[in-house]
Structure 1
Amino acid sequence: MRNILRMAVGDKWLGIYTSEEGEAFRRTLDEAFAVTSGLRNNIGEWVPWLGRLDVQSFTRRMMRVHEKLDRFSSQILDEHETDRRRCARDGGGEFTATRLEEEMEARLTRGGAKAFILDIIAGGTETGATTMEWAMAELLRRPDAIAATTAELGRVVGRGRWVTERDLPALPYLDAVLKETMRLHPVAPLLAPRHAREDRVVAGYDIPTGTRVLVNAWAVARDPASWPDAPEAFRPERFLAGDAAEDVDVRGAHFELLPFDVGRRMCPAYNLAMKEMAAALANLLHGFTWRLPDGVAPEDVSMEEFFGLAMSRKVPLVAIAEPRLPEHLYAGVD
C-alpha cells in the first residue's frame, strides 16, 4: 500500500512516519474500505423502501467519507499543481504531478482528476494487501511450500541482502505461489459487468442481446473441467515446468485464470501489481521465519471468505515472524 500511495500521491500522504495529514488520509481510506465492504449487509439494498430510512447509517457514513476524501483530494491536487512546473522542468515527481501536466491536453476535469487518483488507490492498495494475506495463510497451512520458497530464495538471493525486482524472473516457485493464490482467492470473484453484443445460447440458456453478464471467476478457477488436478487444493507446483498448467498465465490469455479480468476491462496495472506483490512476498519470506501461534495447527487456520470491495479473509490472519537475516539488514526497515 505504501508503494502505491508513494507513486500516486507522494511521500507526504503515506500515513504513519510521514505527516499528520498523511495519517488522517490513511485512516479515511481504511474507513472507506470498511464502509464499502459492509454494503452487502445494507438492508436497503434488499428492501428498497427501507433504503430511504438509512437504518444502518450507511448513507451517512458514505457521505462523511466522501466529504473527507474530496477534501484530501483537493489538497493533493493543489499541492501538485504547484509542483507541476518543477516536474515538467526536471522530469521527476510523483505520478499525480506528471499526470496533471498531461491534463491540460486531455482536458480532464478537476473532478475527473480526483476520481483518477482514488481509482488508483482503491484498485492498487487493498487488493494487493488482500492477496498477500491469502498467500501467507495458504503457505502457513503448507509448511513444505514455505520451505520450498525460502530454499529458492536462498539459492537465488543468498542471505546477505534483500530481494530486488531483478531477482524475480529467477524465482519460478514464488511466481507459482502467487498464481495459485490468485486462482483460489481472486480479490474480484465477479469480473466487471458486461453486456451480450448478440443473441447466444450458452449451456442451453438463451442469452439475448443486451443481457448483463457477470463472470464468476471464483467458480471458473475451481472448476474440475479446467483444473482436473485437485482444484480445491493449494498446489503451486501445478504452475511449474513439467506440469499441465505451466504455461497458464494471469494476463488474460487463459480464461481459466482471470484475476485481473480480460479484454478492454482488464486491469491496466497488472504488470506492476505482479511485481509489487512478488517483491513484497519474497522479502517477507526471505527476511523472516514464519510460524503460527502456539497451539494453532495448520488445519486450524480459518479460510472463510468475506466479500466486500475485495474478497478478503473473514478472520484476520495471525502469525509470528522472527528475523532470519543478518541484523544490519533490518536497519531502517519499517
Structure 2
Amino acid sequence: MNIKSLLLGSAAALAAVSGAQAADAIVAAQPEPMEYVRVCDAFGAGFFYIPGSETCLKIGGYVRFQTGFGRDLSGTSDWDSFTRAQLEIDARSDTELGTLRGFIGLRGDADNSSNRGVNVDQAFIELGGLKVGYFYNWWDDGLSGETDILASHTTQYNAIRYTYTAGAFYAGVAVDELEGVIHGTNRDNNVGIEGIIGGAFGPAKVALLGGYDTDQEEGAVRVIATAELGPGTLGLAAAWASGQNAYYDTSEWTVAAEYAVKVTDRFKITPGGQYFWNLDSTATGGFNGDRDGWRAGLTFDYQLATNLSTKVAVNYQDFDNQQEQWTGFVRLQRAF
C-alpha cells in the first residue's frame, strides 16, 4: 500500500511539473507574411501591382544617341550629336468611373552646345475617355517614316480632351492652351480647338483631323489613311491650312505618301515623298504667292536585338527660291 501510494504520488508530481513547463513554454512568433510584387496583366505587359494597393505600375523609357546632318545644323557645322534620356511612369487602376490613369514622362537632352537638364515631356490624368494635363496632341501623329511634315513644330500643350470609342470607331474633341505659339502678335486668348474622327476598316485605317487657332482666326484640316498592301503598308496624307496657325504652318496645301516595306522581321525600309503648294505667308499669317516645294527620302529601321534598334533617315528638299539641301540622322536607341 505504501509503495502504491508512493508511485501514485510521483506520477502526480511529474504531471504537475510537466503541465507547468508546457504552460510556461516560449513559442516563437510567426513572421509577418511578405507581400511580393505581383504581375498585373490587366493593362498589358510590363505592369505590376504596387505592394499594398490595387494600382498597377509600369516603368519604361529609352536612351538614345543620335547624330544629325544638314546645312549649318550646329552653328557653321553641318552635323550635330546629342544623347537623350527618357523615363516614363504609367500608373493605372480600375474604378467605378472607368480606368484611372496617371502618366509622367521625363526627358533630358545632353548636347555639348546647349544647357543640359530634365524637363517634363508629358504629364496627364486619364479617366475613361477624359484626358487632362500636358501631352502631345493629335497633330503629332504622322506617317511612320521621317520624311513628312504634317504638323507645326509644336505639338505639346496643356489641354483638356475627350475621346469616344466604339469598337474600331473613335471621335474626339480637345481644347488646347496655345501660350508660347510664335504665329501672330495677338495672343489674347491662347485657345485652340481640335476635333478628330477615325476608324479601322479591315486592313485600312483613316483619321480626319481639324484644328482652329482662335487668336490667329486660322485653321487647318488633315486626313491620314494607311492600308496593308502587299509586303508593306501604304500611307497617304493631305492637309490644308487657311493661314499659318498653331496646328499647321508650312504651306497652304500639301500631300504626302510613303510605303513601309517590311523586308524581314527585323528590317524595314520606308521611302516617302511630299509636295507643298504656296509656301509664302503674309505678315498676318495668311498664304499668298506661288512658291512651291517638295521633299523625298528614305527611312531605314533595323532591330539589332531585343530592345535595341537603329534608325537612319536621309531626305532631300527643294523649295522654290531656296537652296536645295540634304538632311537626315543616324540613331541608336535602347528601350526598356
On whether the aligned pair clears a TM of 0.5, the verdict is no
- TM bin, normalised by shorter chain, reads under 0.3
Which of the pair has more CA radius of gyration?
Answer: 2
**Greater relative contact order (Cα 8 A, min sep 6): structure 1 or 2?**
1
TM-score (norm 2): 0.20
More strand by share: 2
